[in-house]
Amino acid sequence: MWLSLFRVGSSGTSYRPPGLYGAAFVDYREGSVLTYRELLVARVIREGAVPRVRVVDIWVDSTASRDGGRALWALPKELAHLHIERGGAGPVSRTSWDASLAGGTLATARATGVRAPAPRTPLRFGVSQEREDRTTVVAGVAGSARVLPWVIHWDFPTDGPLWWLRSHRPLVSLRMTGFQIRFGE
């Protein structure tokens, strides 16, 4: 996962309230229940003692992921084309991502970091989504990952659905590897 956190004071929309948002590209590889890629944007929300997020935008390149995410957890998954390129030399690693839909770009990201050992960091939070019938689905997420700071440059085209993030700069950017998570606990 390549993740950046953004403080959004105003998105210019009524459906994206002010708050802390995370934008991430994720590559679920062999060993995962499904192998696919995704681009997501989620907002941190306050509901109880355990931190929660609400996924506001999410695209995947897997029909099974889209259908399962919608049915099980009310995630608003849509299909898109997601592409990743990895490179770098020595201790420096570079990753480029792009996501597109019907010929238009959703987002691109260029990430740079150092290949270095990192301790496992525990992860525990919840995902809270609202179904069309206004019922709420809460899924727990628990596990761990190796986390390192990275530099990530994002581009959100002005004519794309994430245009409202365009003028915001990341507060922090991270790369998480070696995910071991359980979703839906």
104 backbone φψ class: left, alpha, beta (φ>0; ψ -120 to 50): beta
Q: How far apart are CA 168 and CA 154, in angstroms?
A: 10
Percent pLDDT > 70 in the chain is 99
Chain mean pLDDT for the chain: 93
pLDDT at res. 33: 85
Q: Give 97's contacts (C-beta < 8 A, 6+ positions apart).
A: 2, 25, 39, 82, 83, 84, 107, 108, 109, 110, 111
Task: Supply 61's token pair.
Answer: 């390149």
Going by C-alpha positions, the residue among 141, 143, 147 that lies closest to residue 180 is: 143
Tell me the pLDDT tens digit for each residue of 148-160: 999 999 999 999 9
19 backbone φψ class: left, alpha, beta (φ>0; ψ -120 to 50): left
Domain spans in the chain, listed from the N-terminal domain onward = 2-183
CATH code assigned to 2-183: 2.40.400.10
The pLDDT confidence band at residue 126, using thresholds 50, 70 and 90, is: very high
The pTM (predicted TM-score) of the whole model is 0.94
Q: How far apart are CA 160 and CA 153, in angstroms?
A: 17
Q: How many CB atoms lie within 10 A of CB 42?
A: 21
